[in-house]
Structure 1
Amino acid sequence: MDEIEWWEFDSAKDMAEQVAGDIGFVIESALEAHKGARLAVPGGSTPDLIYAELLKRKDIDWTKVTLIPTDDRLVKLDDGLSNYGKLEGFFGARKADIVSLIDEAALENPQEAGRLADARLSLLQWPLDLACLGMGADGHTASIFPGPDFDAAVNGPRTRRAIGVRPDPLPDAAPVPRVTLTAPALASARTVMIVISGAEKRRVLEQALKEGPLSSYPIGRVVSAMDVPIDIYWSAE
């Protein structure tokens, strides 16, 4: 794990404006360097303000931007729980290339869904220009939860970019299996951001970072494998 810098904000709106500005800079730099930008971005509700701020920017050529969910639920693409659907709702009209981790033919088979997602991701150029991560109050990031697939998601082959997972226990808010980017895929990114809010999540993240590669929290295990500077954005609300 390389250096970590915290950025603190009083409000979610202030944080969203800063994160959107920094993501915009990553996109601009990637377009200048290799004519395209590849970003893994989170689901959940926290990014909504960030995505809204990004859409205010008139200088981004979204047709040259590829967006990949850091994880998704094994549901149909038009389901309200779909992270792909969220990204499509925000950025589809801007003609961004939004890559789905979910093949609707494999909704009943997490392992096959993960294999299909991995095959689809292998067609993209790697590494990612940005991995923007959220974190749950239990310390999970992307859909790397404790459970029978945890070790494969964290310690699997570096060439494996996506895997099907079944959290144990299943989260109450979305009790379905998932497909997630693996820790090696996230760790390969040129730039890494973590975006969280609230005192409890800060406490969990600080403890996970302190524990490092032996952390009991998934986020600690994922971050410990990263070799680039990490920016953490935290808002009090």
Structure 2
Amino acid sequence: MINEHFFETREALLAQLQSDMQAQIDAVLAAEGAASLLLSGGSTPGPVYESLGQALDQRVQVALVDDRWVDVGHKGSNEALLKRCFPNHAVTGMKTADEKPQAATQEVNARYAELKQPFALTLLGMGPDGHTASLFPYAEGLDAAMGEAAPTCCAITATQSEVTGPLVDRMTLSLPAIINSKKLVLLITGEDKLAVYQQAKTATDHKATPVAAVLQQARVDVDVYWAK
């Protein structure tokens, strides 16, 4: 089921999202004593991450939903963003010394096997092309990453576009891993992405609009947060 949370301003959205994320983390910690938080990159959730990172319980494991295949010092690194926002936590990253992500899947999956599962909360974004995480339309590796037997992390090579830029090699949570979460959040802003989201709710070609597979699955509710 999809639960929509629409706001007049981005400030109101981020304030409510932070509160809701903290409440979910606290609830899982109280019930289970540990929790894992899977986060996407991007500038929009940055203020939420910074606020959460100031007092996040040490029992919470922080990890990436996906990342570009670049070193942490690169401006496109999602791992770098999370390390800045969560300086007191050992962020579980995806990048290895391998030249291509396809050579690193075994090592990255071993890292992610150390995370508490199901994940307490997974926060996704969405692109104007209908991708989420690094599940890009018709990308090399997409079929495997969206398959029922997919491992937690999969290598993806997207077709270069205005959305991807030149950094087409990625590592991403697979579709089964994304929905292996107690709470699943999709964060979007702007009228253009709202239109993509509305279409994705009923899209039948999930390879063309991968976010549709997340929205239409029945395993876990999706909480959609949107503002102009």
TM-score for both structures, normalised by structure 2: 0.92
Alignment map for 1:164-175 (pairs within 5 Å): 164-169=155-160, 171-175=163-167
Change (3 A) 1:229 1:84: same
Give the corresponding residue for 2:70.
75
The CA deviation at 1:172 is 4.7
Aligned length: 226
Unaligned runs of 5+ in 2: none
The CA deviation at 1:213 is 6.8
Give the corresponding residue for 1:207.
199
Q: Are the counterparts in 2 of residues 15 and 233 from structure 1 also a CA contact under 8 Å?
A: yes
Change (3 A) 1:20 1:122: same
Q: Deviations over 1:20-56 (max 9, x none)?
A: 0001001101111111110111101111122234246
Give the corresponding residue for 2:169.
177
Higher helix share: 1
Give the corresponding residue for 1:112.
103
Aligned with residue 5 of structure 1, among 3, 27, 34: 3
- Could you tell me how far apart the structure 1 residues matched to 2:172 and 2:41 are? 11
The CA deviation at 1:212 is 5.3
**Structure 2 counterpart of 1:17, one-letter code:** A
Q: Deviations over 1:175-211 (max 9, x none)?
A: 2411000000011111111100001101101111112
Give the corresponding residue for 1:14.
12
- Could you tell me how far apart the structure 2 residues matched to 1:148 and 1:215 are? 11
**Structure 2 counterpart of 1:119, one-letter code:** A
Q: Are the counterparts in 2 of residues 213 and 225 from structure 1 also a CA contact under 8 Å?
A: no
Aligned with residue 127 of structure 1, among 108, 115, 118: 118
Q: Which moved more, 1:38-47 or 1:204-213?
A: 204-213
Alignment map for 1:89-100 (pairs within 5 Å): 89-92=84-87, 95-100=88-93
Q: Deviations over 1:63-85 (max 9, x none)?
A: 11111111011111122111111
The CA deviation at 1:143 is 0.5
RMSD: 1.8
- Could you tell me how far apart the structure 2 residues matched to 1:10 and 1:53 are? 21
- Could you tell me how far apart the structure 2 residues matched to 1:110 and 1:176 are? 11
Aligned with residue 46 of structure 1, among 30, 44, 47: 44
Give the corresponding residue for 1:191.
183
Answer yes or no: is 1:102 the counterpart of 2:95: yes
Answer yes or no: is 1:152 the counterpart of 2:144: yes
Q: Are the counterparts in 1 of residues 179 and 214 from structure 2 also a CA contact under 8 Å?
A: yes
Q: Which moved more, 1:171-180 or 1:33-42?
A: 171-180
Q: Are the counterparts in 1 of residues 112 and 152 from structure 2 also a CA contact under 8 Å?
A: yes
- Could you tell me how far apart the structure 1 residues matched to 2:215 and 2:90 are? 27
Q: Secondary structure at the match of 1:132?
A: strand
Q: Which moved more, 1:180-189 or 1:47-56?
A: 47-56
Q: Deviations over 1:100-134 (max 9, x none)?
A: 1111x11x222112332112111223111111111
The CA deviation at 1:148 is 1.7
Alignment map for 1:53-64 (pairs within 5 Å): 53-55=51-53, 58=55, 60-61=56-57, 63-64=58-59
Q: Are the counterparts in 2 of residues 194 and 231 from structure 1 also a CA contact under 8 Å?
A: yes
- Could you tell me how far apart the structure 1 residues matched to 2:195 and 2:168 are? 27
- Could you tell me how far apart the structure 2 residues matched to 1:176 and 1:213 are? 22
